Amino acid sequence: MELHSSKWPSIQNGKSGRHICSLNYVKMEDGESQLLSDEGQTPEPLLGSLDIFIFSLIAGLLIYWFLFRKKTEPVLDFKTFPAVSPPIPETSFIEKMKKTNRNVVVFYGSQTGTAEEFANRLVKDAHRYGMKGMAADPEEYDMSELSRLKEIPNSMAVFCMATYGEGDPTDNAQEFYDWMQGTDDDLEGVNFAVFGLGNKTYEHFNATGKYTDKRLAELGGKRVFDLGLGDDDSNLEEDFISWKEQFWPAVCEFFGVEATGEDSSIRQFELVVHNDINMNQVYTGEMGRLKSFQTQKPPFDSKNPFLAPVSVNRKLNKGGNRHLMHIELDIMDSKIRYDAGDHVAVYPINDAVVVNRIGERLGVDLDTAISLRNLDEESNKKHPFPCPTTYRTALSHYLDINNKPRKNVLYDLAQYASDPQEQENMRKMASASPEGKALYQSWVLDSERNILAILEDLPSLNPPIDHLCELLPRLQARYYSIASSSKVHPNSIHICAVVIEYTTETGRVYKGVATNWLKNKEVTENGHKHTVPMYVRRSQFRLPFKPSNPVIMIGPGTGIAPFMGFIQERAWQKEQGKDVGETILYFGCRHKNEDFLYQQELEEFERAGVLTQLNVAFSRDQEHKIYVQHLLKKNKEQLWKLIHSNNAHIYVCGDARNMARDVHTAFYEIAEEVGGLTHTQAVDYFKKLMTKGRYSQDVWS
């Protein structure tokens, strides 16, 4: 309702205006009838009837003019003041660097916050070498000024660039990427270095980092140090630490500087406690605008998510020890639009039990209102998360308390361990020594200790909670492939997900933040509906433009999600009388009687002729495991004909590490065995299909 509340005053004012007009009209009617009754009197009038009429008309006009004339208001002599413009954000990073005496700028292309975190760590490191740096979001600055960097003596630009999706730049780096592709600026004299963040399970490993490094050199930039390639499938942070430990000595040699010996664990933010504050001014989980959850205003995006009511939350599997769920989000009043294949991003909330235990362990009142204020007044990032807020809100909505802490967090927290052995072990784990790496791998990563587990298992560690809040990374939105078509469900978005819960090596129960939070959003009979902060992220995972093109969909487990939307849309196209090509699904699950997701719906689509072929691999219903790739090989002649002769589009959704690779291999073998191609030719063949948009993947690791 609040979306339309602004309309009401204008309607009410309009009505009152009409009432005034009708009242004036009634008065005039009354006056006229009174004049007519006067005319009918018997005594001989002093004036003729025509004279009376003219006199009355003149008198009436005079009275009307006197009562209803538009009064001229006195003209006041105002002094003119210059217009006060709102402050314009600084878009020139060059001018900002000059004003604040900085010579290192670290740009980050970040989708989940890791590249931004690495950029901030490099800025802190710069102080150890007598250099002054700033972290910068390329989206906030005019990147065409890069050629001017040489105006600043001994300057350098570092780029921490993550690759997202199928070799794409992150959202905040898209404009910079486009600029690099189109510019012919001369970057001679511009010193640069690049660290890429990627994942080897994906086809286009570190494509954005590689392109940035190559393109800046092509434009004449001077590479200070070799391109670094981080692999999130292995250990991204180890790759980053190994790279920067060689990067800084190279920088020292290049610029002729030496380490100052200063500790790089200096604080970036200062604590401000608000003892007497109006709680209406305190953030309670909003991502951008204060009170945006109370007064929802479109458009909705990552900074302004929509609170979507949960209208359906049902368990999909009939048995087994897992919980697979189908959730429907109501977007009726949001003006949100989506296409089959898009992703829905949801902002989860951390487990209140874990939040409370952190507060108890550190002995703090979690409802204290605080702000963390950047000590660098020139920084665009005034706070690490929306402030003012409370410790409880920060730990619940803004900070990642469930994942394993990175090494820099252990390093900065080590100073607060009073036991020398515990402090030594923390510093050792944060180091790059083989012993330290092994200890961090076993004690933190393999044992899956989150920050609460570390605080519980290191009794002498008592950090100030504000420093802990400064160090922990931001809690990120979770992305799910939308399991519906807007052609069929324009007012709802469907999610298919599996709840993550298992026991770790330390005996603790690990619970996935988002899936357990969503699981508890049960629909009650009393009419109250839980809400989920969400927005839609566009995808390139799209059905063919021509419905007549055949589609081959491969999606085991929850990888079926986008294909539910695709199948719904193909059914809708069929209803519209369009010529719809073959629609073939390869689905996989463990047991037919346990986790055959959407079985009833899929079989109905098959009976209706929408699904021309439903192939299901039940991996554990027989002695030898059968997966989707085995079914592909079984139908190799039909598949090759559809792909090679009938212009079929292939879609793969699910696990990138194993399934997607195995499916790739199966298609290579089909091309070799049926198409007569060599292995090299087969690999090249499917790469060309990807380039043409006929082989699409929506995968995760």
Q: What positions carry a catalytic annotation?
A: 481, 653, 698, 700
Q: Omega of the bond prior to 299 within 30 degrees of 0, cis?
A: yes
Task: Enumerate the known binding-site residues for FMN.
Answer: 110-115, 162-165, 197-206, 232
- Using CB atoms within 10 Å of the CB of residue 420, give its burial: 0 to 12 exposed, 13 to 18 middle, 19+ buried: exposed
- Using CB atoms within 10 Å of the CB of residue 526, give its burial: 0 to 12 exposed, 13 to 18 middle, 19+ buried: exposed
Residue 437: strand, helix, or coil: helix
Structure tokens given for 5: 């509340």
Contacts of 260 (CB under 8 A, 6+ apart): 127, 128, 129, 130
Give Cα separations from 77 to 45, 71, 74, 80 (angstroms): 55, 18, 9, 9
DSSP per residue, 524-548? PTTS---EEEEEEE--S----SSTT
Angstrom distance (rounded) from CA 55 to CA 41: 17
Structure tokens given for 201: 């399970």
Task: Tell me the β-bridge partners of 196.
Answer: 161, 229
Task: Enumerate the known binding-site residues.
Answer: 110-115, 162-165, 197-206, 232, 322, 478-481, 496-498, 502, 512-515, 558, 619-620, 625-629, 662, 700
Angstrom distance (rounded) from CA 286 to CA 296: 11
Angstrom distance (rounded) from CA 470 to CA 465: 9
Q: How far is CA 205 from the centre of its chain?
A: 21
Contacts of 277 (CB under 8 A, 6+ apart): 369, 388
